[in-house]
Amino acid sequence: MVDLNKAMYDVLVGGMILSSITYLVGILQFLIQSQNPLQAAIVHYQSVSEFVTGLLAVRSAAVLTLATVFLIATPIVRVFISILVFAFNRNFKYVAITGVVLLILITSIVLGYFWHFTPQ
């Protein structure tokens, strides 16, 4: 049996620490770069390659964007990991329940993305 409590704790704390450290690095980098915050480079990356180039150059905007990716990914990873834990523990009722949650999440994201919908 895998301890569900411990697995969930590990995922959430992992995501929290990873994103927090990345945010801190990004803020320090921003202060060191001494950019004018009003003209602080690109804020929204139009493409993945642009973002990766920014990351490789350790631009603060890119580092901070990476931190946000870590942050938003955490609850989604949490749902995914809980399915694995329930499956490993042969609790198939909850594999089904959590599977439905993951399906709804993916559906919402895909529909929202293609309809160019942002919540109010």
Partner 1 sequence: MSLALVLVTVGFIAAAFAAAILAGFLGALFGIGGGIIIVPFLTVFMGIPIHEGIAISIVSVIATSNAGGSSYVEQRITNIRLAMFLEVATTAGALVGSFIALLLQSWELFMIFTCLLTYMAVISFRTRRTDEARIGTGEFAKVRQDRLAKYLDLSGVYYDASAKRNVQYLVTRAPEGSLISSVAGVVSGLLGVGGGIIKVSAMNIFMNVPMKAAVATSKFMIGVTAATGALLFFLAGLVDPYIIAPVALGTTLGATIGTWVMPRVGSSTLKAAFAVLVAYFAYVMLAQGLALGFGIQLPVIG
For partner 1, give the closer residue by CB, 90 or 116: 116
Tell me the C-alpha to C-alpha distance, in Å, between residue 78 and each of 81, 85, 115. 5, 10, 26
Closest CA to 40 of 54, 19, 56: 54
Contact flag: residue 61 with partner 1 (CB under 8 A): yes
Distances 104 to 26, 61, 68, 70 between C-alpha atoms, Å: 33, 31, 22, 21
Burial track 53-64 (b if 16+ CB lie within 10 A, e otherwise): ebeeeebbbbbb
120, 15, 62, 114: which is closest to 7 by C-alpha?
15
55 binds partner 1 (CB under 8 A): no
State the minimum distance, in angstroms, from the CB of residue 93 to partner 1: 6
Answer yes or no whether residue 51 interacts with partner 1 by CB under 8 A. no
Examine residue 89 and tell whether it contacts partner 1 (CB under 8 A). Answer: no
Residue 32 binding partner 1, by CB under 8 A: no
Q: Which residues bind partner 1 (CB under 8 A)?
A: 4-5, 8-9, 12-13, 15-16, 19-20, 23-24, 26-27, 30-31, 34-37, 40, 43-45, 60-61, 64-65, 67-69, 71-72, 74-76, 78-79, 82, 93-94, 97-98, 100-101, 104-105, 107-109, 111-113, 115-120
